[in-house]
Amino acid sequence: MLLEYDQDVSRYIKSLREAGGIVNRSIVIAAAKGIVSHKNPVLLKEHGDPISISSSWAESFLRRIGYVKRKGTKAAHKLPENFLK
């Protein structure tokens, strides 16, 4: 049943990343719950249906749309030489 909303969630997540936003499992879970709640809230486990949007689902979703975990760069940890000027 959740597959019906994959495209909507995918569009939202891709636009979020293109805008420079952070995308992780928590964001995907929140986005999916928000989209499903808006379109058909009775589908969610909270409302009695067996559909549960879990961390493992979010990880699988990110793999399906081709996103992988990024490792932070060390350059971001250094302050520029002229930072205090």
pLDDT tens for each residue of 46-82: 666 667 788 998 999 999 999 887 666 666 667 777 7
* Residues 21-43 pLDDT 10s: 989 999 999 999 888 888 887 77
Q: What is the pTM of this model?
A: 0.72
In this prediction, residue 30 carries a pLDDT of 94
Kindly give the residue spans of alpha helices, DSSP state H, lying in the chain.
3-18, 25-39, 55-64
Annotate 50-68 with DSSP letters as a single string. Answer: SB---HHHHHHHHHHTT--
